[in-house]
Amino acid sequence: MPVESAPVGTDPNCWLVQGGEFQTQRPLILGVLNLTPDSFSDGGNHTDPAVALARAERMIEEGADLIDVGGESTRPGAASVDADEEWRRIGVVVEELARRGVPVSIDTTKSSVARRAVDAGAAVLNDVSGLRFDPALAGVAAESGAGLILMHLRGTPRTMQRNVAYEDLLGEVMAILGRSIETAEHAGCHRAQLVIDPGIGFGKSTEGNLQLIAGVGRLLELGRPVMVGPSRKSFIGKILDVPIDERLEGTIGACVAALERGARVFRVHDVIEVRRALDLAWAVRTVGV
């Protein structure tokens, strides 16, 4: 749960969110709650609000720090939906989770959806476009004090896998994320509100996804905590030759590898298993020797 914020600038490990702050001195987990009919892994599983709320509560019990609610699929090839339909899918669940005191992150690229979400009590906005699709979303974060996750995405979800070749993947990702940070700060966001995400699985090849995990340490040069979202992604399936429902071990391996290189925020479907793995890896990292 977020705690009351200390004075801005006194703690380099704080992530300011609406209603308080999270400390990134330990691994944080965003539990994925897709309220879409077409997400790649769990599409259609949580379209009933009662089922969605039960799943969210279970993920909190399993160790999630926030619930990341999405109403528009960002799987490869996915078509966009309009803002009213996106809010129709998520509004009741967002409002009820906030009423119960559950920290909520909203996976959206639309400022109008973001506004309704923070007004309903959402703590964090998670923009997979890094403010490219709707720069006004940064103003919503600035005005509300919501945390803001900025992700790298080449193209759109519909087109992103058509060109996954880069001359300098890490360099390009860092440059674009740097511009996203500048856009957010220009809109009035404090840097402590920001988390960056290299966009594993979003316009990258299998090798590129591995390079991003291996290069997390370089991403830290941007001065903000790094989030990774490898959960059940296709690169795991290609490397291990397993279908979506057999990618748990690969997800855990990717998360622990990213943790060792400096990532501190993790967006996953399988909360309890990843929580236990990260907690064990963290205990090893912090034990006195």
Q: Which residues are catalytic?
A: 233, 267
Q: How far is the C-alpha of 99 from the C-alpha of 85, rounded, in Å?
A: 22
The partner residues of 67 in beta bridges, in order of sequence, read: 31, 104
The partner residues of 30 in beta bridges, in order of sequence, read: 66, 267
The tokens for 43 are 């599409």
Evaluate whether 247 touches 232 at the Cβ level (below 8 Å).
yes
Sign of CA dihedral 256, 259, 261, 266: positive
Instruction: Give CA separation, 10 vs 15, 123, 147, 148, 227, in Å.
Output: 12, 21, 17, 19, 22
The tokens for 123 are 């703590």
Q: What is the distance, to the nearest Å, from the Cα of residue 235 to the centroid of all Cα atoms in its chain?
A: 18
Give the residue among 129, 59, 68 at the shortest CA–CA distance from 94.
68
Q: How far is the C-alpha of 72 from the C-alpha of 81, rounded, in Å?
A: 6
Q: How far is the C-alpha of 40 from the C-alpha of 54, rounded, in Å?
A: 21
Q: How far is the C-alpha of 12 from the C-alpha of 280, rounded, in Å?
A: 24
Within the chain, residue ranges assigned H as helices are 49-62, 83-99, 111-120, 136-144, 169-186, 206-214, 216-219, 234-240, 248-260, 271-286
